[in-house]
Amino acid sequence: MEQNYMDELLNLFQSNLGDDELKEKLQNYHENDIAKVFPQLSLENRQKLYRILDKDFLSDIFSYLDNPQEYLDELSNDLAADLLESMDTDDAIDVLEELEEEERKELINLMDKDAVAEIKLIKSYDENMIGSRMTTNYIAIDKDATVRQTMKKMIEEAAINDNISTIYFTIGDNEFYGAVDLRDLIIARENDDLKTIIKTSYPYLKATDFVSECINKIQEYALSSFPVVDDDMHLIGVITSDDVVEAVNDELGDDYAKFGGLVGEEDLKESTFKSVRKRIPWLFILLFLGLVTSLLISQFENVVIGIPIVVVFQSLILDMAGNCGTQSLAVTIRVLSDGEVTNKNLFKLIFKEFRVGLFNGVIVGIFTFIFVLLFLLLSAPDNQFNQNMKISIVVSLSILLSIMVANFSGSFIPIIFKKCKIDPAVASGPFITTLIDLIAVVIYYGLAWLIILNVL
């Protein structure tokens, strides 16, 4: 049975329950479910929520709202600042970034200095870095603490920090030392030496690492949270499983956008001008490549004039080559997403794609030869058979060579980009397709000139 609590929640708000009774019943629902009904609640009902719920519960609800900034205007500035302080720092930043600059400054001035310092720390990192994804919601304890002291500190801080599944340990000036799973801490005896259960070789991420380069590592370890350190190994935050899911989705969305010839992901809330700015750079690049392709075709004007029928099959050659190149590109980028792929494996991938292109080219080329020859014989029976044979050979050979080149390019180009520290997704579908079009045009008209006009 599908779980849908929206109707139940709406009925609760429409009932005449007292404040205490309503608050008690709302505690039984997840914050996300309450957030979902926010747009359907009247202002009066929302104001009632703001009055009866404690700020921690209310801040969790705001963390799940799609447009929390819309509802902050319904709060006093003091309460809005309190909610932002109670949120995970990364969530608070997301909300603040949606506000007008004047309102943002006003709320920041009302917030606790420590909360503001944490926001400034995370904002100091580029949005593509791990540091911009981390939260300061974690528990850190000195490595020399006892099991009893650690348990006491964890219980004290559990009311403030809800990321308690892993306890982190530091040494000296907050230098990261290791970590202990909560389960191991619970089953440890009071007199046990804590150092015997601390994992000192615990995986960590650097705040300056790029998200795209860490996704595989994050997925492989499948931890509920990762410690994040600065360049001097000081523990400065953690990145949680929620942050990981968001990072993966953003990275996939960014790659998808690049595959579509965009410089960044778009959404429905973006302005027209911002969307134009994201699309126009690639359009100019593709325009330039398209013009080069047109100029190359113009160099084979004598072929087009002498054998006009070759123009009919131009789109067939270009489409087949472009499609094969995009297939190879998709396979290659998927392989490159594995951060541990070796140079030997990359060479094997290129060679495999070349072989795939060769066999596919032979199969499709033979079929194309038969189809084109039959087409020419039926549509132009008065033409010489020898001429029809030449045209069929040119088209089928062009298909063969173009598919081979397309498969090779689709694997080789993104690997070169990767070696040059450029995101291989930049070798987007439109880019690779247009580049292969250029090569396929030279192959097709070059063969037509050699075989039909000059050689045979």
Residue 270 has pLDDT above 70, yes or no: no
Give the CATH number, domain containing residue 207: 3.10.580.10
C-alpha to C-alpha distance for 431 and 454, rounded to whole angstroms? 33
Residue 235 has pLDDT above 90, yes or no: yes
Instruction: Say whether both 52 and 170 belong to one domain.
Output: no
Sheet of strand 166-171: strand arrangement = 140-142, 166-171, 175-181
Q: Which of 229, 259, 289 is the last residue of a domain?
A: 259
How far does the chain reach from its first CA to its final CA, in angstroms?
73
- pLDDT level of residue 251 (50, 70, 90 thresholds): low
Residue 455 has pLDDT above 60, yes or no: no
pLDDT at 118: 86
Question: Could you tell me which residues come within 8 angstroms of residue 270 by beta carbon, excluding any fewer than 6 positions away?
Answer: none
Instruction: Say whether both 162 and 231 belong to one domain.
Output: yes
φ, ψ for residue 240, nearest 5 deg = -90, 170
What does the mean pLDDT of the chain come to? 81
Residue 3 has pLDDT above 60, yes or no: no
In tens, the pLDDT along 202-226 reads 999 999 988 877 877 777 787 878 8
Instruction: Say whether both 67 and 99 belong to one domain.
Output: yes
Q: Which of 91, 124, 157 is the last residue of a domain?
A: 124
Instruction: Say whether both 238 and 96 belong to one domain.
Output: no
- pLDDT level of residue 313 (50, 70, 90 thresholds): confident
Instruction: Say whether both 232 and 102 belong to one domain.
Output: no
Instruction: Say whether both 328 and 423 belong to one domain.
Output: yes
φ, ψ for residue 228, nearest 5 deg = -120, 130
Does residue 39 lie in a domain region?
yes
Does residue 187 lie in a domain region?
yes
In tens, the pLDDT along 394-441 reads 999 999 999 999 888 888 888 887 777 666 665 556 677 778 888 888
> Looking at the whole model, is its pTM more than 0.75?
no
Residue 1 has pLDDT above 50, yes or no: no
pLDDT at 258: 54
Torsion 174-175-178-181 (CA) sign: positive
Per the model's pLDDT, the better-predicted residue between 163 and 68 turns out to be 68
In tens, the pLDDT along 322-342 reads 888 888 887 887 777 665 567
Sheet of strand 205-206: strand arrangement = 205-206, 225-229, 235-240
Q: Which of 259, 285, 307 is the last residue of a domain?
A: 259
Instruction: Say whether both 185 and 115 belong to one domain.
Output: no
Mean pLDDT is highest, among 41-55, 291-305, 329-343, for 41-55
Instruction: Say whether both 351 and 321 belong to one domain.
Output: yes
Residue 293 has pLDDT above 90, yes or no: no
Instruction: Say whether both 169 and 244 belong to one domain.
Output: yes
Give the CATH number, domain containing residue 33: 1.25.60.10
pLDDT at 316: 87
Instruction: Say whether both 54 and 98 belong to one domain.
Output: yes
Mean pLDDT on 50-56: 87
Residue 259 has pLDDT above 60, yes or no: no
Which domain covers residue 310, as residue numbers? 272-455
Does residue 155 lie in a domain region?
yes
Q: Length of the chain, please?
A: 456
Does residue 267 lie in a domain region?
no
Number of domain units in the chain: 3
Q: Give residue 27's identity as a one-letter amino acid code.
A: Q
C-alpha to C-alpha distance for 208 and 236, rounded to whole angstroms? 12
User: CA of 443: how far to CAs of 117, 291, 447, in Å?
Assistant: 61, 17, 6
In tens, the pLDDT along 18-47 reads 888 888 888 888 888 888 888 888 888 888
Q: In the chain, how many H helices and how many E strands?
A: 20, 6
Instruction: Say whether both 163 and 206 belong to one domain.
Output: yes
List b or e across 68-81, with b for residues whose CB sees 16 or more CB atoms inside 10 angstroms.
bbebbeebeeebbb
- Helix runs in 260-313, H state only: 272-298, 301-306
Give the CATH number, domain containing residue 422: 1.10.357.20
Does residue 348 lie in a domain region?
yes
pLDDT at 328: 84
Per the model's pLDDT, the better-predicted residue between 275 and 175 turns out to be 175
In the numeric block, which tokens belong to residue 183?
A: 């389960």
Nearest to 185 by CA among 139, 236, 238, 239: 139
pLDDT at 292: 80
Does residue 218 lie in a domain region?
yes
Does residue 204 lie in a domain region?
yes
Q: Please state, as a whole number, how many other Cβ atoms lie within 10 Å of the Cβ of residue 154.
A: 18
pLDDT at 282: 66
Does residue 234 lie in a domain region?
yes
Instruction: Say whether both 283 and 415 belong to one domain.
Output: yes
